[in-house]
């Protein structure tokens, strides 16, 4: 059963602030406040799905289009040679927030040496990276 009190549900309802990068009718992208690398961005669907397996097929295309658009902007904005897309399903797989989300991480697997959700970033740094990414969404 979907927990409507999870942090991403609260962000979607505007109860908790987030540094937003992109938003459309089906998705919201924002900066990870505990990034593994600079520019680490999250994309979530505006649907109450805990995992990918809970997202209705008719939502999947819109969600992945949002992921693709934001991933291209993260790669360009962070001048990354590549990007890692990471999506975990269930606590046993390492999912820490029970709302479907895709991690967009500029760089490579080698850059993921820093543990996930370990250190909170400074808001001004996150805002700076968000602006770099947003500049490539407007193109």
- The residue ranges of every structural domain in the chain are 7-137
Per-residue pLDDT tens over the stretch 1-38: 899 999 999 999 999 999 999 999 999 999 999 999 99
Q: Can you give the pTM of this predicted structure?
A: 0.95
pLDDT, one tens digit per residue, over 84-115 is 999 999 999 999 999 999 999 999 887 776 66
Token pair listed for 9: 């549900």
pLDDT given for residue 139 in this prediction = 60
Name the packing angle between helices 57-77 and 123-137 (round to 10°).
Answer: 100
**Cα 117 to Cα 114: distance, rounded to the nearest angstrom:** 9
For residue 71, the tally of other CB atoms under 10 A from its CB is: 21
* Cβ atoms within 10 Å of 57's Cβ, excluding its own: 6
CATH 3.30.830.10 matches 7-137: no
Among 101, 103, 116, 136, the one annotated catalytic: 101
Structure tokens at 58: 């008719």
116 catalytic? Reply is no
């Amino acid at each position: 059963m979907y927990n409507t009190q999870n942090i991403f549900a609260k962000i979607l309802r505007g109860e908790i602030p987030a540094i937003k990068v992109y938003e459309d009718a089906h998705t919201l992208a924002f900066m990870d406040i505990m990034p593994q690398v600079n520019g680490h961005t999250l994309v979530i669907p505006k649907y109450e799905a805990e995992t990918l397996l809970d997202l209705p097929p008719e939502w999947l295309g819109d969600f992945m289009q949002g992921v693709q658009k934001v991933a291209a902007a993260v790669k360009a904005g962070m001048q990354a040679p590549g990007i890692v897309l990471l999506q975990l399903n269930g606590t046993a797989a390492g999912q820490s927030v029970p709302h479907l989300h895709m991690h967009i991480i500029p760089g490579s697997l080698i850059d993921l040496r820093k543990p996930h959700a370990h250190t909170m970033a400074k808001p001004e740094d996150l805002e700076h990276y968000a602006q770099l990414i947003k500049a490539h969404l407007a193109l």
